[in-house]
Every structure is written in structure tokens, then in C-alpha cells.
């Protein structure tokens, strides 16, 4: 099923609660929360306390994207803050299998993310325990970058493997998703679309979300 996950990185941080409510009213499925530590990526955003502060503002699914060096240490904190899905990077310093297990044990859905230069096969050993794989379509760290079409091959590889094993796993794309790039991503096999600039930068967030959704629905056929 197609899901749209607006990234708060492009929102008005001084009004994060109101921005979350606005996204829910605009028809978003998830709220994408980008956590950056200035180590795994060259940028710092926010952590669990900020996520906790908006948890009671909305019933949107909290889709937490950890771009941090030691995710294993903080899984419990993000669970307590109200995360529903926790995605961490395969390239981080934490052991991947143990981190997946910790997320699942906490009661959250687990996702693994891969950067543009990381092979899709890296996540294969963990697929049975995952709810989502996030294929980054830009280098993580900043909003407003251009979509990298060369990452589409990895989505095809992943979707083929997921189907071959008969699993029900979402493939998320993040970075440079807009009206032009949502179609190639959906036709490659992605079904969860993160969009920062394309939603928060639009005059009408509701129209932006429904356009992305309908374009994705037209192109996704798996």
C-alpha cells in the first residue's frame, strides 16, 4: 500500500506540534522524523525529547529515521518517545542484527536504511525481521537535495527478493522525492515516500500529498 511520509526537516521547527497536526489534516500517513547526531552525518537535528513533545499532538505513525552513529544505545529512548517505526543505518557502528532485534523487542517496527553507495544485498540477511527497508535516494544529512536515479536498480533488486521470499516489507525512498521522481521510484518497487521540501514547501500540503499518492499509485505494480 502507498504511504506518504512528510519529513519535518522542512517544517517550521518553532511550531512542530502545529506542523504535525497540519500534516495529519493534509492526509499524510506517517510523520518522518529525521534524527541526526553530527557524527554519522554532518548535521544535527533533534532527539527523543523533541519527538516525545509532539507525540500527543497527532495520531500519525511516527516514522523515525536515525542518522546516528550508535543507534543500538538509543532504541529504548525512541520507543519511549513514541516511535512506531525505527529505521537505522546499516553503515552505523552498531551491530545490525542486534539492533534489529532490539527494535522488534521494544515493540516498534524495524527498518534498515542504506546510503546510495551501499549494496541492496547488505539487508538480505535481516529481511525476515524487517517491516521496511529505506533506500536513500540522496546522501543523508540534508533536505532539498536532488534525487539520484542510479539508486533505482537497488529498489528493483530488493523488491524482487522480497517477492521471491513472499514477504510483506515496505520499501521507502527518501531524498528529492517530488512529482517528477515519485513515478520512477514507484515503478522500481518503492511504496513509502518521504517528502520534505515537496510537501512543506508547497502552498497546499494537502494537494501535494494527494498528487504524490496518485502518481505513486499509478506507477506501483507489485
Rounded least distance, CB 19 to ligand DX5, Å: 13
Nearest to 34 by CA among 170, 195, 185: 195
* Residues 66 and 78 sit within 8 Å (Cβ to Cβ): yes
- If one asks whether residue 145 binds ligand DX5 (CB under 6 A), the answer comes out as yes
Residue 80: DSSP 8-state:
H
Residue of the chain from 17, 95, 97, 144 that contacts ligand DX5 (CB under 6 A): 144
Residue 216 interface partner, choices Zn ion, ligand DX5, none, CB cut-off 5-8 Å depending on type? none
Residue 10 interface partner, choices Zn ion, ligand DX5, none, CB cut-off 5-8 Å depending on type? ligand DX5
Told to judge if 174 belongs to the known catalytic residues of this protein, a careful annotator would answer: yes
Told to judge if 29 belongs to the known catalytic residues of this protein, a careful annotator would answer: no
129-133: long-range contacts at Cβ-Cβ below 8 A with a sequence spacing of 24 or more? Answer: 129/100, 129/101, 129/104, 130/100, 130/169, 131/85, 131/169, 131/170, 132/85, 132/87, 132/169, 132/170, 132/171, 132/172, 132/192, 133/158, 133/169, 133/170, 133/171, 133/172
Q: Tell me which residues in 162-201 interact with ligand DX5 (CB under 6 A).
A: 174-177, 194-198
Residue of the chain from 19, 34, 63, 170 that contacts Zn ion (CB under 5 A): 34
Nearest-CB residue for ligand DX5: 196
Q: Tell me which residues in 41-100 interact with Zn ion (CB under 5 A).
A: 65
Residue 145 interface partner, choices Zn ion, ligand DX5, none, CB cut-off 5-8 Å depending on type? ligand DX5
Binding site for ligand DX5 (CB under 6 A): 7, 9-10, 32, 34, 65, 138, 140-145, 174-177, 194-198
Amino acid at each position: 500500500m502507498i504511504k506518504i511520509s512528510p519529513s519535518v526537516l522542512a517544517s517550521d521547527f518553532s511550531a512542530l506540534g502545529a506542523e504535525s497536526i497540519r500534516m495529519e489534516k493534509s492526509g499524510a500517513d506517517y510523520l518522518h522524523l529525521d534524527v541526526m547526531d553530527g557524527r554519522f552525518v554532518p548535521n544535527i537535528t533533534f532527539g527523543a525529547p523533541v519527538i516525545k513533545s509532539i507525540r500527543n499532538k497527532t495520531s500519525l505513525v511516527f516514522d523515525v529515521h536515525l542518522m546516528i552513529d550508535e543507534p543500538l544505545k538509543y532504541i529504548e529512548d525512541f520507543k519511549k518517545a513514541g516511535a512506531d517505526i525505527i529505521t537505522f543505518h546499516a553503515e552505523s557502528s552498531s551491530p545490525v542484527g542486534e539492533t534489529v532485534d532490539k527494535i522488534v523487542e521494544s515493540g516498534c517496527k524495524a527498518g534498515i536504511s542504506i546510503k546510495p553507495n551501499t549494496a541492496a544485498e547488505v539487508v538480505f540477511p535481516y529481511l525476515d525481521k524487517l517491516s521496511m527497508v529505506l533506500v536513500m535516494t540522496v546522501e543523508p544529512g540534508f533536505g532539498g537535495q536532488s534525487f539520484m536515479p542510479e539508486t533505482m536498480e537497488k529498489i528493483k533488486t530488493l523488491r524482487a527478493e522480497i517477492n521471491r521470499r513472499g514477504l510483506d516489507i515496505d520499501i521507502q525512498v527518501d531524498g528529492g522525492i517530488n512529482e517528477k521522481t515519485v513515478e520512477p521510484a514507484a515503478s522500481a518497487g518503492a511504496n513509502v515516500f518521504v517528502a520534505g521540501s515537496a510537501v512543506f514547501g508547497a502552498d497546499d500540503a494537502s494537494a501535494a500529498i494527494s498528487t504524490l499518492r496518485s502518481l505513486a499509485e499509478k506507477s506501483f505494480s507489485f
